[in-house]
Amino acid sequence: MSKKFLVKNRETIVPELTREIPENGIFSIGNDSSATLELKDERVAPEQFVIVCEGSQVTLMCRVDGGQINGQILPQGSLHNLQPKDVIGVGDYTLIFDTAESVEAIVSSFIKKNSAQENSATSNLSQKKQNTSRKKTGGQSETLDSQRSLNDVLEELRSDEKFYFQVEDAAGEKRRFYVESEEMWLGWSAAGKCVIGKNTADIEIPRAQIRKDWSGVVLYPLQTESIRLNSEMLSEPHRLKNDDHLLLLAKNNAQFDNTMSIKFHEPTALLVLDSILPKELPPPVLMKTASQTADNRLKSNADGDEADRQTLQSTVQQSIPKGEKLRIFGYFTLTEIMVMTAGTLIASVIIFFVLEYF
């Protein structure tokens, strides 16, 4: 059963923003023009939410803070499996996730109600013609919205599979630079614009080198105090992460240009993978460490009294979990080695008799 988003702006339904959720793919929500569902609000981030669709499962991932679902605040990186009637809030907008039939019924009722109010002074015949025209236009608009939504999803899939930098100047102009080469350069052009590219001729004053490898994208500053990363001075190579914010030293080397904002974005698929994988692996437990430490302390305190010696020995016994035995080669216990040896000998005898008498 297909699903849709019903969009409200300050409790007012916005029919033209109604979007159908694809069965498979990625659906983005934000105030950027490339978003599948563009919400024009300063309090909405360029990419506020990313929705991963896999058949009947629809997962909402919050890219930045500032969103809510069913009245609960969504922190950055949180995941939520959407269910019918879920209400998502961000800025002045409210998004209701529901079945396509339910959303279409609400939108149709809203359109009919507004049409009746606007055309209350016209004749019945004129009103019927206008309603018929609106229904046809609404059907075509819905078809075009569906096609545009599919195209946006496909475009989003292609673009989100790449690392990119988004540069925003003081006038609010946004530009994207995709990391499509293993080696690129970041700096100022002769016209005073921030430029990211592999052609060094386009950059008059380079500030950093960008390298892409198996680990991701690494930024190499060319000078010790020419780049700020998340408000901290960058003096050595650094692997960039999603939503890292960069500031460049101005072209005249006087101070940092705070009017030029540079943000780094990772592919959506990589973000989804990072959200699924464990954040931190547990440290390895070395069973010999506690024993060796206690033995050294026992040797160093050889002249101590018997009470101290017993205290240290009890510490060793408590530090090693119960049931944990000494392992040969770090993997097998002595019992396991004996069982494997006996099994090998028995198997050898059986094979010998089979080959000898059969």
pLDDT for the residue 273: 54
Q: What is the dihedral of CA 285, 289, 290, 292, to 10 degrees?
A: 160
pLDDT band at 101 (very low <50, low <70, confident <90, very high): confident
Overall average pLDDT of the 240-267 stretch: 87
pLDDT reading at 265 higher than 70:
yes
pLDDT at position 200, please? 82
Residue 319 pLDDT greater than 60, yes or no = no
Strand partners, 249: 256
CATH C-level class of 164-266: mainly beta
pLDDT at 139: 47
Identify the CATH assignment for 3-160 out of 2.40.50.140, 3.90.105.10, 3.40.50.2300, 2.60.200.20.
2.60.200.20
Out of 62-66, 80-84, 131-135, pick the least confident.
Answer: 131-135
Question: What pTM, to 2 d.p., does this model score?
Answer: 0.39
- Choice among 75-89, 151-165, 212-226 with the minimum mean pLDDT: 151-165
CB atoms within 10 A of CB 69: 20
- Where in the sequence of the chain do the CATH 2.60.200.20 domains occur? 3-160, 164-266
d(CA 62, CA 279): 17
Separation of alpha carbons 270 and 164, rounded Å? 13
Above 80 in pLDDT, residue 322?
Answer: no
What three-state secondary structure class fits 30?
A: strand
